[in-house]
Amino acid sequence: MTYDDASWQRPGPGSEPPAPERTGEAVPPTGYAGPPPTQQPPAGWRPPTYLQPPPPRQLAPQDIDKIEAQEKDARTLTYGVGLVAAAVMVVLSCLLCSRVLF
């Protein structure tokens, strides 16, 4: 099948566009017929189930006071590490600035 540029050019004023039969294109169907009909699945279409899963287990009880104490300890450690890192950065900055100025 050969393609020519005539099918892509704009029609002149007052002329009709070429019909699909003449350009080799298929004529699109008119209207919408709707979705295809559905069919019920046959009986027994699911595989048989032999085992039932066990019911979920109970979670272990939580000690809220112990959890809060551990979170407080972790927060204290985090703040301590942050303060030490900030102090080291301040000392290094002071050393760098003193070397540049003097």
Neighbours of 85 (CB within 10 A): 10
Given a contact cutoff of 8 angstroms between Cβ atoms, the answer to whether 57 and 51 are in contact is: no
Which secondary-structure segment (H or E) carries 84?
Answer: helix 64-101
Percent helix, strand and coil across the chain, each rounded to 5? 45, 0, 55
List the domain boundaries for the chain: 73-102
Share of the chain above pLDDT 70, in %: 78
User: Average of pLDDT values for 49-72?
Assistant: 93
User: Average of pLDDT values for 44-56?
Assistant: 86
Of residues 11 and 48, the one with the higher pLDDT is 48
Please give the pLDDT value at position 57.
94
Task: Name the average pLDDT for the chain.
Answer: 83
State the pLDDT confidence band at 22, using cuts at 50, 70 and 90: low
The model's pTM: 0.41
> Tokens 């080799």 label which residue?
24
Q: Does the structure show a pLDDT above 60 at 18? A: no
Q: DSSP 3-state assignment of 42? A: coil
Q: Does the structure show a pLDDT above 60 at 78? A: yes
